[in-house]
Structure 1
Amino acid sequence: MDTTPIAAGTGHAEAAAGGGVRVGALVPLSRPGWVEAGRQLLAGLELGVGDVNRGGGISGRPLELVVRDTAADPAKAAAAVEELAGTGVAAVVGEYHSVVARAAAAQADALGVPFLCSSAVLDALTDEPTEWVARIAPAQSRGWRIFADFLLGAGHRRIAVAAEPSVYWAAGARILREHLAPRGGTLVELDARALGPAALCDELVAQRATALLLLVGTPEPAVPIVTSVRHDPRLADVLIGAPAGQPEFAEWASLLGGDGAAIPFLRYLPEHLSPLGARVEAALRERLDEAASFVAFEGYDTIAVLAEALRAHHGTRTKAADFWPHVTAEGTRGTISFSRQPALTAWQWTWPPIQVADRDPANPTRFRVLHTG
């Protein structure tokens, strides 16, 4: 991959001559990273940079995006932050995978580099509270509790999760369990690595679960699990859910077709986009040659709010305590500002809009909003 700076909206010669403001971008662009999510995230970041530069840049200097592929590797992300910090970037942005973002956040905190996390939701991005890290995406505890409320409202009390081992999936299962239990719900955990799709179906029958949540990667093993459950007559009434958002992306529909519809997931979009959001949506569709996901909007909003922070400090790093708490920017999904929240270690946008949505069985290319929070 070409990792030279992208001076969107300007020529490279002009950027160099003008002393551009360099920003590092962490994006999963190769396997085992979720490449489709990375492509969407990068499209939003690049579009945001282009708009900033067309509007005069940062105090007259062009914004330059220096892209690094994390490939969903925490060590690779940490090394990229160290390298980028050494080159003098004003900040680092991006990342989709929560465990990778956590490694990047820890390194940014250690080196004193502002890091604005675009899409990762793991509550504790660092072990201890930090002034250097902020986040656009909602915290996992907020989104997954909303998802649990949706399940309870739909009448589900015995809920199974097919989970792979990871900090992110374990945190999600814990959030669900703790939210469901006082409200009469039970969470049954099934090991997606130990159980093949057929054995998983047998366990769902034995456990009398009315819903199955996919706490697994895609396309493997999520796609074969969905196919097996959908074609098992014993499980015709079992709801499949994917709180991590797997059905949002076009690959899901292309691999599963109608089997991938009616699977609720979390997405971070408002009921109606603002005029800015509508303009950005059209531009993203043209850039991507497909519909923009919420991840692309997160990328654009990341640049919108970072640009405001950088303008306030003339494009240079400054004391962390002065960087995030005083910035406010209009994004595609609302006005963005940051605050401190209990149990969260980073500055947090409170709050992005949250939807529970699915693909319409009558037309799997269209989404239905089932619940908002």
Structure 2
Amino acid sequence: MKRCDREALIDIKEHSAKELKLNYAMENALLYCRISPNGSIVHMGEKFAKLLNYTEFSSNKKFSEVLTSNEKEQLNFDRLIFEKQSSGWQGEIKIVNKEEKEIWLDLSMVPVMIEKKELELLIVCCNITEYKKAEREIKRLKLESITEKINQQKIISSKIVENQENEQNRISREIHDGIGQMLTGLKFILESINLDDREKSEQKIEYLKTLSSDIIKGVRTAIFNLMPPELSDNGIASSLSKLTQKLSKLTGKEILFYNKTNFDQRLDSLIEINIYRLAQEAINNAIKYAESSHISLHLSHSDTFLSIIVEDNGKGFDINSVNKKHNSESGMGFLFMKERIQYMNGQVFINSIPEEGTRITFNIPILK
């Protein structure tokens, strides 16, 4: 054998050995395939061939035809090979194998030079089908969660409107049945005063004084129910103290207020209103549902948080069962609390033991 022929044979064997090493390394690592610039398969790894059900090995078989049976998709992939054979390409593709199963691949196409003048394209893939399934499931769960929140928000909105209507009707009845009737009586008494009858006139005037005091009290109560002036004048600590005093007198229950850290700061007006309504809702729940005789409201603060705790010695409840009853009055009460506390970027913690009592804690960040 001539020297040049021997060297050529050595080169061929070395090239074949290198190619076998490359193929073996790729076989055991990734889904891969080597294709020529026209898209024909040079070599396909065993794992990749198994995934694509490729059994009829042929040097003339196009990679696009193995990837998909859809002619349009084949043309698109052939075009991609033609356009990106010099620069390479990376992206996600979806294929459907012969068993009609959807497969997602994260595919990289890299131009390589096997011999000095022989360009090939190295296709390296990762099977991301399970990842895509998980991604779709996450999207589905998020959509379900969003839908649930929207539905919950609709329920809350309708209950808010309903409560507003009920509150307006209650205030309207208070004004009509209380203040309105007293004002009507005041008018009749004034019209009936006969100054010629001094004794009766003096009696009626004394009664008018008492009636006027009752009307003033009624107006103040209506105003307090709408928006306590104490809140806008002196802030949350003072208004919570007045709230507990007033509710204690009205209900006959022992309702006490403790300002543990002597908090006297003023906060944003909307924050103060929401804190007040949270405390009011928690105390009203204790009065209405807990059958408690003792209720305490504790106010404390640090540099960053304001904490309000409402405790009662009532009958308690099962928290899980109440959370499930979004449409019940008590369930909606807790939903309103959570909505208000979320508005303030705060947290609410509800602890209750049946037959022992309930503690509700509100933590609200204090913005400097």
Same fold at TM > 0.5: no
Higher RCO (CA < 8 A, seq sep 6+): 1
TM-score (norm 1): 0.21
Bigger radius of gyration = 2
